[in-house]
Structure 1
Amino acid sequence: MGSTGTVLRELRGAQKSAKGVSLYSRYVNRPAGRVLAAGAYRAGLTPNQVTLISALFTYSALAAVALVEPSWTLALAVYAALALGFAFDSADGQLARLTGRGGPDGEWLDHVVDCGKLLLVHTAVLISFHRFGELPSDGWLLLPLGFQFAAVVTFCAGLLREHLGKAAAAAGQPTGAPAAPVSRVRAIALLPADYGVFCLVFLLLGAPGAFRAGYAVLAVVHALFLAAFLTKWFRELRALRPG
């Protein structure tokens, strides 16, 4: 693999399945990550180094949310850093599949960074609300905590569903119904739960009232998705019981 074009063609063949992925991740984040992965490959970076670059952009943006008074300049800077961090989060896995240099350590590091991101993003919003927000009531301070609960439980439960399903398959147990084909309707329906779409709300940081409203709407949507996902995953795992 010599030229960047050749690397990009190889990366197109090293993509995860589009099943269960929103349109944003499929058509925006993964292609952006592909370009970053090609650049990382040309620069000789490892997948773990790309993961740490993702963390640097993401965590720096979240620190700014917590420590800097909201403004339109901050909004643009935070969104750009979060979006870039998310693209690098896609690039590390693509680079690992391209080079064959992935492993349990890389998967672990990626999940640790992702879990930290989900905890910190809502913590940063909570701190910003407390420090800079002229809130209608103190009850608004509970909103980031509820959103954090929904996001972290969804993330952890999804990981457990995936790993328990793999364990059942490795043990030779039936894994349930055949996988459904990729659905564009589902990909559209998943847009509100996509982290990349969530990042867009930070473009409203310059208008605190609009940001609170957008953040609250997404919190409700994520709570509804949490209930739906937990019900679905529980039924799928119950179907894996032997006998």
Structure 2
Amino acid sequence: MRGAQKTAKGVSLYSRHINRPAGRVLAAGAYRLGLTPHQVTLVSAFFSFAAVAALALGRPSWGLAAAVYLGLAVGFAFDSADGQLARLRRESSPAGEWLDHIVDAAKITALHAAVLVSFHRFFDLPGPGWLLLPLGFQLAAVLIFTGGLLADKLKPKAAPAAAGTAPAAAPSRLRSVALLPVDYGVFCLVFLLLGSERAFLAGYTALFAVHVLFLAAFTAKWFRELTAIRPA
């Protein structure tokens, strides 16, 4: 499994030290059971969308908070497991990557849509304008996801390191800490506050503000990097 890991560059501490190790255990179990990477992706989708449905349909409570968080966290761990399993089985493919990204995009949009439904059905909001909050958060989250994905695809791939060259520098711990507020696993933690309307609204709003700030910073960085690329 060690050889089936992605680089830790640009990854937050949560994903590096919690989600990926959990995904490693799940990938090993899936390998022993003979599951394919596509099947693991669908298991991830099942847990994630079960949590989304519970959020939209259930009245907020501490029990619902635990159930929603657990579903999202387990789904996120399986989301890490499918790629590790594919690399372990040497079955990485464009179709598998496409399916993984489609599920991720659907999960992001559906989760914030479920928050909007919950706000409308169950929350005593200070005013109707607060219903725009999940829509704004959804927009910021989708732009961060698609912007980062496209930037990575459009950048020229680095040539493999030649034998005998110095190893790549270790990932920045400061950067991995700074990325925590926009890590999906950290975002899932806010749903543990669903038992208190005021606490959840405050936590969700704070994370929205952080995502907007990171979106501005990421967009400027990605555009600057892509502008520097000279056509061949």
Counterpart in 1 of 2:162?
none
Deviation of the 1:116 alpha carbon: 0.2
Q: Percent identity?
A: 69
TM-aligned CA deviation for residue 14 of structure 1:
1.4
1:199 has 2:188 as partner: yes
TM-score by length of 1: 0.90
Residue type at the aligned position of 1:224: L
- Whole-Å separation in 2 of the counterparts to 1:51 and 1:123: 22
Task: Give the counterpart of 2:204 among 215, 218, 221.
Answer: 215
Q: Give the structure 1 partner of residue 7 of structure 2.
A: 17
Match in the other structure for 2:52: 62
Question: Does 1:49 find its partner at 2:39?
Answer: yes
Give the aligned partner of residue 118 of structure 2: 128
Partner of 2:178: 189
Query: Which residues of 2 match residues 97-136 of structure 1 at below 5 A?
Result: 97-136=87-126
Q: What residue in structure 1 maps to residue 164 of structure 2?
A: none
SS of 1:16's equivalent in the other structure is coil
Q: How far has the Cα of 1:180 moved from its partner?
A: 6.7
RMSD (Å) for aligned C-alpha atoms: 1.4
Tell me the distance in 2 between the aligned counterparts of 1:157 and 1:241: 20
CA distance, structure 1, for counterparts of residue 231 and residue 148 of structure 2 = 21
C-alpha distance in 2 between matches for 1:15 and 1:42: 18
Partner of residue 88 from structure 1, selected from 54, 78, 86: 78
- Partner residue of 2:135? 145
| 2:218 equivalent to 1:229 | yes
Query: How far 1:241 moved relative to its partner?
Result: 2.2
Which letter does structure 2 place at the counterpart of 1:118?
Answer: I
Corresponding letter in the other structure for 1:86: F
Please give the alpha-carbon distance, in whole angstroms, between the structure 2 residues aligned to 1:19 and 1:193: 15
1:23-68 C-alpha deviation (Å, 9 max, x unpaired): 0000000000000000000000000000000000000100110011
TM-score between both structures, scaled by the size of structure 2: 0.94
Paired letter, 2:25? V
Residue in structure 1 matched with residue 163 of structure 2 by the alignment: none
After TM superposition, give the deviation of residue 141 of structure 1 in Å. Answer: 0.3
Q: Secondary structure at the match of 1:210?
A: helix
Q: Give the letter for the 2:231 counterpart.
A: P
Residue by residue over 1:73-111, the C-alpha shift from the partner in whole angstroms, topping out at 9 and shown as x without a partner, is 000011011000000000000000000112011000000
1:242 is displaced (CA, Å) by 2.8
Q: Which residue identity lines up with residue 24 of structure 2 in the other structure?
A: R
- Structure 2: runs of 5+ lacking an equivalent: 160-167
Supply the distance in 2 between the matched residues of 1:85 and 1:194 (Cα, whole angstroms).
14
**1: CA distance, partners of 2:169 / 2:44:** 32
Tell me which of 79, 90, 96 is aligned to 2:69. Answer: 79
- The separation in 1 between residues aligned to 2:90 and 2:22, in whole angstroms, is 20
Paired positions, count: 224
